[in-house]
Every structure is written in structure tokens, then in C-alpha cells.
Chain A
Amino acid sequence: MPAFADLPPPPPGADAAWLDDALDRLPGDTRVVIIAADRFAGAPCPPAAALRRLVLGRLPVIAWFERDLAGAALDLALAADIRVAAESAAFRGPAGWSERAALLAPALAPRLAAGERLAAQELFDAGLVTALRAPGAAEAEARRLAGVLLARGPIALELAKEAVWRGLPQPIEQALRFETDLTMLLQTTKDRAEGVRAFLEKRTPSFTGE
């Protein structure tokens, strides 16, 4: 069974390499990474190169949080593809990874850099958080979304993630051709053929990641 994996918080006394180590040790069948960001309060701040592995890697990443996030916990949440927050939650600036904050929410980034507290509602309005839930309900929504992603074709998710985060820095003309080429690559996969067949036969597709 394909699975999601919870990113383990670093052990006491861990150094800044803990995130690289944790990513290296994810189970081989992991298809979605979930980050319970609240649990990373006080963790050593990982280097940007390790955080970028979450953004540019093959697996979709969902972060959820109920409390105020600062430091490493904030940077980890910023590295995720999808952020789920409880209404009680907030970001407390500054973020260590300010470039990522500027990319995701250019209007909020200067306030975060100035050390402001940005409440979840504001993060939601700015599209930095894309699911806002009542206190206590963020984890359930994160796990529901992980289930949604597990039902999708893993290759399609890998290329969709690549299209968004690697396409965004490109000039639009090249970016559109990049999307077309990723699409053409997908046309060679069994999953894509299965998706079309299942749609036409009005049944749930069964993806193998091939």
C-alpha cells in the first residue's frame, strides 16, 4: 500500500543536518510527506539546501499547524506545497528562509521579515495557507488531503510539482513549452493511459506509478 510519512522531529541535541538525515531515511514507499510543524519548535534551523529538497523533490509535502510557528518550524511550513492551519495559528517572523516567503506571499514577506505575527486568517487571505480549519481540526484536514494525493497518479504529482516550482522562475514563453514537454513525457506512462481508460469506462483508476 502506498503511504504517507510523518517527518520525524529531530532528536534532542541534533545539529542542522537533521533534515537531510530525516529525508534520507524516509521509507522507500513514501508517497506524501506530512509535517506536523508545531512539533518542530526549537529545532535547529536547517540550511536552505535541505529545505529546497522538500520543494524540488519528487514527493508532495503537506504541513499543518495549530500554534504560532517561528524559526525552523516556520521554515519547514514554508517549504511545504500545501499548508493547513487552524484559526488559532500564526506565523511569527522573521523566517530564516526569506526568499521562499517572498515567492509565496510578496505582500506579507516584508512584515514577516520585520518580525510581525501574522494570524492564520491573514495567511489564508494571502494564499499562503490554503486550508483554514477550526482549532483542533488542522491535522484531520492535512490527513484528508494526504489521502486525496495518494489517490492521484504519483508520476503526475511528481511532474505537477516540478511544473509549478521549476516553471515559476522561467520566462513565460519557456515556461509554457516546459509544461508542454512535461505533458508529452507523461503521455508515455502507463498511469496516464490508465487514467484515460478509467475515465471512459467510468471507473476509479488504479495507478501503479509506471
Chain B
Amino acid sequence: MAEPVRFAVDDRGVAVITLDRPERRNAINLQMRDLLWEYLGAAAAIPEVRVILFRGEGPCFSAGADISEFGTAPSIMAARRARHDRDIWWQLLTHPCVTIARMHGYCYGAGLELPLFCDLRIASGDARLALPEVTLAYIPSAGGTQMLPRIAPPAVAAHLILTGEPIGAADALRWGIVDAVVPPAGLDAAVEAAIERALADPAAARARRLRLLGAADTGESPAPLP
């Protein structure tokens, strides 16, 4: 069976990481988290890789975490340790590459949180964004409660996190949750332009993330820990 996350590097040094489980709206399961962990590590280890693009196969980026696997850890401590041992979110935040998210269709839950860790978020006009965890008596747990109030106005984050209701691409752009919105047919061209800009000036593309980390961009990897 094909793996649900694909990884490919082109000759410009752009790694494309594709969520490829369209029959489940690219719901991110534990296997996919482990693959993301591996591929992010690989991208950091290959010196030629300078940009990572995240994309989703099919009609949406990702509808979120795979809820059918919730609560399957043997204990709370095991769940907590697994989380810290495979912390793809910290890996993203400190990654030496410029990271870009190509967002279309549903970007819900973890499908929004993963882009929130990226340097650039390019959205299609058909993108729908939500952190719906509270509808299941849960809270965003892939960084959403901390990244969203640091990227968007905190009151926007509070509204989305407390209500769980979705917003469209225009609202996301107004509040700075995404950096650009283009018609669906123009999404690939807009992403390509963002990749070219990132390759030309990676420091500029990473500046916002490094400010958030409180770290100076020395261009050296790994990124410094606070």
C-alpha cells in the first residue's frame, strides 16, 4: 500500500511533502505523524534542501487529526511521552528550511495547525479554516492554541478556538491567518511564486518565525533553542 505521506525533492532544493490520504480528507493519523517526523528530519539533513512545501492530495489540505485513533495510547503518560518524542511541531518551528503551506478546501484542526507553523501560508479562495476541537470536548493540541493568537489578533484566536466555527479565506486573509488568497485555478502559480521568492531570500521568508522563537537568523542549523 502506498504511504499516506509522500516526500520528493526537486533539483532546486524544494522538498514537497504531500498528505496523500484523500479518501479520508487527508486526516492525519499516527503513521502520518511518524512519516512527517522522518521527512522533516530528512529535509533538515539534506544540505541541498532549502524549502519545504506542504500540500494535500485531493479536494482539501486536511480535515484534521484522525479521531478514530484518539485515546488509543496505553496511558496518559505514554501519550505525553510519545507526543514529546515525536514533536513535529517543535521540529517545524526550529526547522532550517523555509516552510510553505498550500491550503485549499478543508483546513480544519491539525490541518490548520500544521500550516500555522509554516513561514508562509498561501490559500485558495475555497479554503475553510477552523479549530473545531471543542465540538468534541477537546482543545487544539497540535499548537493551535498558542500559534494562532501569536499569528492572528488574539481575540480572533479566542473566537475560533472557543466556538469551533469555520471561517472562509477572506476572513483568514483580513486577520493575517494566511498571507495570500488566490482563486483556486491560480493556487499552484501563487505557490510557485512564493517558492521562488523563498529561494531568492530565505532569511526574509523565515524572519517572522524566528522573531516568534526569539532567535536571530544566523543561517546555521539547527535553529537555536531558547
Which residues of A does B touch, CB under 8 Å? Answer: 60, 81-83, 103-105, 125-131, 145, 148-149, 151-153, 155-157, 159-161, 163-165, 167-168, 170-173, 175-176, 178-184, 186-189, 191-196, 198-200, 205, 207
Contacts and interface: CB of A to CB of B under 8 A. Distances in A.
Given A187-B71, A196-B71, A179 B145 contact: yes
Contacts, number: 160
A164 B158 contact: yes
B76 A188 contact: yes
Interface of B: 67-68, 70-71, 76, 79-80, 83-84, 89-90, 93, 133-141, 143-146, 149-150, 152-159, 161-165, 174-175, 212-214, 225-226
A145 B214 CA distance: 36
B71 A156 contact: no
Given A130-B159, A160-B162, A184-B80, A104 B145 contact: no
A195 B154 contact: no
Contact of A200 (B68, B84, B143): B68
Contacts of B212: 172
27 contacts: A83-B155, A103-B154, A104-B153, A128-B155, A129-B155, A148-B164, A152-B163, A152-B164, A153-B134, A160-B139, A160-B161, A163-B146, A164-B157, A165-B154, A167-B149, A168-B150, A171-B214, A172-B212, A172-B226, A173-B90, A176-B89, A180-B141, A183-B138, A191-B137, A195-B135, A195-B138, A196-B70
Contacts of A103: 154
3 tightest A-B contacts by CB? A153-B137, A127-B153, A195-B136
A157 to B, nearest CB: 6
Contacts of B70: 196
A134 B133 CA distance: 30
Contact of A183 (B93, B139, B158): B139
A174 to B, nearest CB: 9
A71 to B, nearest CB: 20
B79 A156 contact: no
A180 B137 CA distance: 15
A81 B158 contact: yes
Given A149-B163, A160-B145, A172-B93, A155 B76 contact: no
Nearest to B174: A125
A41 B152 CA distance: 30
Contacts of B174: 125, 127
A182 B164 contact: no
Contact of A205 (B89, B137, B150, B159): B137
B79 A184 contact: yes
A186 B138 contact: yes
A173 B153 CA distance: 20
A156 B133 contact: yes
Given A127-B175, A205-B136, 9 more contacts: A82-B162, A127-B156, A152-B162, A164-B161, A171-B214, A176-B146, A179-B143, A199-B136, A205-B137
